[in-house]
Amino acid sequence: MLTFAPPRLARAAGRLLLALAVAAGWILLFLTLLVLMDGAASGIPAWLATFAVATAVAVRRGRRARPSRDGRARGLPTRPSRSSRLAPFLPVAVAAALAASVCVPTAPTERRYPPDLPFVTTQHWRLATGSRVAVYHYPPEGTGGRHPVPLVYLNGGPVRGISVLDHRFLRLLAGQGYDVYAFEQAGGGRSDLLPMAQYTISRTVRDLAAFLDRLGKGRADVLGFSSGGTVLTRALADPRVAARVHRAIIAEPGPMDGPTAHAPGHRGRPSARGLAPAPSGPRSTRTPRYAVVFGLMRLGLLSPGTGLIGQAEGDNAFTAADLGGDTASGYCARDAHRIPVEDTARTFSFSPAASLRVQRTVEDSPSIAARLGRSRTPAMLMIAECSSQVRQWETAVLADDPAVRRTQYMPGVGHHMWNGLDDNNRRAAAVITAFLQDRPAPLPDYPSRADIPAFLRDHR
């Protein structure tokens, strides 16, 4: 036997659904104005405009509301009931409150830098470009021979602090006699921020050249990982910067230019993305303000320099848990349930807006293939088996740079090749040190340039 909800309950449910639909419409209007104004003045103008329009419509609807039922029954003048007059304002209040939560900061608006690490001194160098960057130095240690050429590390990000895992790997290299230096790119980690418009891939390359000049030890070996590999690749295409580089190790590079970034391709063997447990800890994307701004920014609807939030606030708000699947994609599928902690909550630092801007300047840049084809700096390419990078980003470097002397395909590791699991750090160090010392490679030279078509066809 079918039962039906009482008419009064059905009407109440209908009115509630209508109110929610109206509130959603006002929120959609707010978001549209937010995008059109690029979040100007923390979104306040968009909020005021939405509130004014919504209030005007609610007033008009209130005047046309249905009269009181008791008044109609008694034959009295048909004035709208109080509840009927106020009902149109409920969606306005709900929408106004939700929209206001997007305009109010909940993270500090002045940059809060991570505390210094306990095992290395943080120095700050002012470069000739104007950037003030955080610098870390690991002097050579161990009983073996010390290597006369300094080794400089460029981390990934692109605008991110050097992870604790990376610092441990750098200490391992120093323990093998290397004089290791690393600096966090402008805006990342403990380095000072730049105006948003100055975050470009060209600026980062100039900062590398300025850092090598400031180091003052002649030509240096440079290890560039992920987006750091992109910076190093572009540096090799610039003769003025390449002249400062002794040997180059390009590990898991991102796209080197616009044509490479837009080229179709595939990734390596399955990573842990979608398999690893969700990272623990607070997430900024659970807060309406940051969920909206980071989401619209990622979709390209807000610019990296949006007026909705300042760069410092965005950096302070973003957490390691916000990276979610991006962190998991740096590990092989078989390691999904033992992914190490790359940073503590206090040491983690990532600038989403600045990183996005740098990435877009790479995507918008013309081809560097012809200039890279004139490179003479000895280079090595490192490729991970479970790489989350598009393979064509990596093979483009091999195909276009005639000075790549060897390629090392690293089995059993993901994008973050030195991750502290098993003997991965030792194996990565063995590959790097063999190349720097011009010793035979511990792994086959694969893929070679001739192997590229088969390597891509076999989805290696």
Q: Rounded mean pLDDT of 36-55?
A: 91
Per-residue confidence at 248, pLDDT binned at 50, 70, 90? very high
Positive or negative: CA dihedral 40, 42, 43, 48:
negative
Q: Rounded mean pLDDT of 139-162?
A: 91
pLDDT at residue 90 in the model: 76
Residue 2 has pLDDT above 60, yes or no: no
Q: Rounded mean pLDDT of 299-323?
A: 94
pLDDT at residue 12 in the model: 62
All structural domains of the chain: 7-103 (no CATH), 123-457 (3.40.50.1820)
pLDDT at residue 452 in the model: 96
pLDDT at residue 93 in the model: 83
Higher model confidence: residue 178 or residue 50? Answer: 178
- Tell me the pLDDT tens digit for each residue of 52-83: 888 888 787 766 655 555 544 555 455 555 55
Higher model confidence: residue 154 or residue 86? Answer: 154
Per-residue confidence at 159, pLDDT binned at 50, 70, 90? very high
Q: Rounded mean pLDDT of 271-292?
A: 90
Higher model confidence: residue 19 or residue 447? Answer: 447
- Tell me the pLDDT tens digit for each residue of 160-208: 999 999 999 999 999 999 999 999 999 999 999 999 999 999 999 999 9
Least confident stretch, 22-26, 177-181, 389-393, 434-438? 22-26
Mean pLDDT of the chain: 91
Produce one character per residue of 245-283: b if its CB has 16 or more CB atoms within 10 Å, e if not. bbbbbbbbbbbbbbebbeeeeebbbbbbbebbeebeeeb
- Tell me the pLDDT tens digit for each residue of 370-388: 999 999 999 999 999 999 9
Other Cβ atoms less than 10 A from the Cβ of 286: the count is 11
* Residues forming a β-bridge with 404: 379
Q: Rounded mean pLDDT of 206-235?
A: 98
Least confident stretch, 12-16, 204-208, 355-359, 421-425? 12-16
Other Cβ atoms less than 10 A from the Cβ of 147: the count is 17
Least confident stretch, 180-194, 274-288, 436-450? 274-288
Residue 280 has pLDDT above 80, yes or no: yes
